[in-house]
Each structure stands twice: as C-alpha cells, then as structure tokens.
Amino acid sequence: MTSVETAPKSGRPPTRAEISDRERGERRLGLLLSAPAVVVMLLVTAYPLGSALYQSLFSYRLTAPDDRRFVGLGNYATALTDPLFWQTVVTTLIITVVTVGVELVIGFGLAVVMHRAVFGRRTVRTAILLPYGIVTVISAFAWKYAFDVQSGFVNSWFGLGDYAWFSDRWAALFVIVLSEIWKTTPFVSLLLLAGLAQVPRDLGEAATVDGATAWQRLKRVTIPNMKAAILVAVLFRTLDAWRIFDNVFIMTAGQEKTQVLSFLTYQQIITRTALGLGNAVGVLLFLSVVLIAAVFIKGFRVDLSQVRGDR
C-alpha cells in the first residue's frame, strides 16, 4: 500500500544544469505515464483517509445522524486513555513479534529446502506454498474446528480431554498465532528464496576453500548477502501481522482479551456504528503502520527495489 522510492545516493549527477533535452522529455513522459496510477491511488487511498480523519473529529452514530457533534481530538483522547486500547496494542504486539520471529526461522529453513531441492523441485515448492493459497477465513475456520472441543481432533490426539482452547487468553492466542504461522510462512520463505538466489555461488565456494564450516558460511556469507531480502520479508510480514483480523474475528471474536487493533476498529465502526470513535482508532492504526514502515525504511535502510533483484 505504500510505495517508497529511495533515490540511490551515489547515482545523482554532480550538477543539475547538465540535464539534456532528451532526459527532460523522458522525465516528463515518466510523469505522464505514472499520472493515472497516482490519480487512482489518490482516489482510493487519499480520499478514504481524508474522510476518516474528518469523521474522527465528531461524535457521530450512523444510526443517529442528527446527534452528530464536533468533539475535536476528543475521540483520540478517549482511545488513547482507554486501557482496552493499550491491552489491544499489547496483544497485537505479541502476535506480531511471535509470528514474525517464528516465521523467519521456519521460512528460512523452507527456503533452503526449496533452493537446494535437486529432484521433485516443483512438487516441493507447491507443497510448501499451498497454505498461502488458502483464503485466510477458511484456514481460520479449519483451525478453529480442529481445536474445538466438540468437533475437533486436537484434544483427542494429544489426550487433552475436554480442554477448552478458546476459553483462555493464552491458549486462544496460541491457536491464533499457530494458524497465522502456518498460513503465512510460505510467503516469508518465498521472499527468502529470492534472497538466497541472489547470493553469488562463488562466494560460498571460496569460503569452503578457505576452510569455513557450514555454520560460518551461513553466518558470514549467506545471511549478510541476503540481508536486504530478509529485511523486506520482515517488513512485509510485520505490517501484515500488525493488521491481523480474520483469524481473531473467526476464532474468538475478540473475547478472552484476544482483541487486536483491526478488530477494535471493526467493533467501533461496524458493530457500534460509532463512526467518530471508530475512525479515530482506525487513524491510530494507520499511523502505527506508517511508523513501522518508516522505522524499517529509514532505520534499517530497507531498499524495496532489492527484492526484485535489481541493484
């Protein structure tokens, strides 16, 4: 959703005056060609965002349009001083950190398998990517029913009797996190596979000749050379995990303190039809997403063009 362009620092010509006519024409053409996309972007993202910002300044119910009144930043104050908001932030943070961390490790392992697979390469890749092709809502239902006391098989497999997974905060979060990991690890491994493919083979061979162990090769050669791909994978997954909704909506509907930020927004806007308060929470969610993206791009210097393999 965010398109970030970081100009290469070294590539800029030393003086601005030397732009040729042809170059200027090409630039104009470039602007013209991208204009329709920019206009569409403005229509579908800037307008709703502006509208959300505007509505967040009112106390406003969809079902009581006549009672609308201006409250300034009051909705933001309400949200930011509500313990529920911070409890939701913590829950979202836990889900994000755990899923991204685990997915990175498993995803790397799967990427290596896909990279190294000598025979049955297509089968291996298809098998690994399969969960990612399943609609999240459907996978959420599948996991919910698997852990359900009446219809599930998990309890009988592990001899847990009638343990109610969704009646406890941590057990419910465990299932939510597990299904999220199962579903999106293939995405991480796909990005990491692209990174692995970029690591020059001769570097590893040279290290082997110098007597490096497999662990040393991984730590000193492979990972540093695919740092960009790893950071892109972490950034994308962090943003996705931060906005998690479907799993929570289907499995617990936010009960037992499993509410996440997107669900909190949904509750206020859709269920309560409290458009003002809900949009304030939505704007806060948006700002947190921008913050995460900014930290990664500025702080870790993630170059998004790297993921495509062009330097």
Partner 1 sequence: MVGPVGRFARVTRAARVARAGPLRAGVALALLAGGLTACGGGGGIPTLNWYVNPDNGGQAKIAAACTKAAGGKYRIKTSLLPSDASGQREQLIRRLAAKDTGVDLMSLDPVFVAEAANAGFLRPFTASEAQPLTEGVFDSAVQSSTWEDKLYAAPFWANTQLLWYRKSVARKAGIDPNAPDFTWDKLIDAAVRTNTTIGVQGNRYEGYMVWINALIASAGGRIISDAEKGDEAAIEIDSPAGRQAAGIIGKLARSTAAGPTLSTDIEEQSRATINGPRGGFLLNWGYVWRAEKGDADAGAINKNIVSDLGWARYPRVNPQQESKPPFGGIEIGVSAYGEHRDGLAIEAVRCMTSPASMKQYMLDEGNVAARPAIFDDPDILKEFPMAPLMRDSIAAAAPRPATPYYADVSGAIQNRWHPPASVNPNTTPRESARFIREVLRDKALL
Q: How far apart are the first and last CA of the chain?
A: 22
User: Residue 289 CB, nearest distance to partner 1 (Å)?
Assistant: 19
- Rounded to a whole number of angstroms, the minimum distance from the CB of residue 65 to partner 1 is 7
> Using the rule CB under 8 A, is 56 a contact of partner 1?
no
Q: Which two tokens stand for residue 224?
A: 């540093």
Of 20 and 150, which CB lies nearer to partner 1 in the complex structure? 150
Least separation in angstroms between CB 162 and partner 1: 4
Q: Return the number of the residue (67 or 210) whose C-beta is nearest partner 1.
A: 67
Q: What is the DSSP string of 107-170?
A: HHHHHHHHHH--SSHHHHHHHHHGGGGS-HHHHHHHHHHHH-TTT-SHHHHTT-TT--GGGSHH
Nearest Cα to 245, choosing from 235, 256, 230, 260? 260
* 21 makes contact with partner 1 (CB under 8 A): no
Which stretch in 33-41, 59-67, 115-123, 226-234 sits in contact with partner 1 by CB under 8 A?
Answer: 59-67
Tell me the closest approach of the beta carbon of residue 269 to partner 1, in angstroms. Answer: 10
- How long is the chain? 311
246's tokens: 């479907």
Q: How far is CA 148 from CA 136, 160, 205, 284, 291, in A?
A: 18, 12, 51, 34, 37
Q: How many CB atoms lie within 10 A of CB 38?
A: 12
Of these, 49, 76, 85, 300, which contacts partner 1 (CB under 8 A)?
Answer: 85
In sequence order, what E strands does 173-301 have? none
Question: Of 194, 207, 274, 293, which lies in the binding site for partner 1, with binding defined by CB under 8 A?
Answer: 274
Give the single-character DSSP code of 11. Answer: S
Q: Binder to partner 1 among 96, 136, 179, 267 (CB under 8 A)?
A: 267
Residue 37 Cβ, how far from partner 1 at the closest point, in Å?
25
- Regarding 285 and contact with partner 1 (CB under 8 A), the answer is no
Sites for partner 1 among residues 133-172 (CB under 8 A): 149-150, 162-164, 166-167
- Work out the burial of residue 171: count CB atoms within 10 Å of its CB; fewer than 13 is exposed, 13-18 middle, 19 or more buried: middle
Q: Please report whether residue 288 would count as binding partner 1 according to CB under 8 A.
A: no
Residues that bind partner 1 (CB under 8 A): 59, 61-65, 67, 71, 75, 78-79, 82, 84-85, 149-150, 162-164, 166-167, 252-256, 264, 267-268, 270-274, 276-277, 281
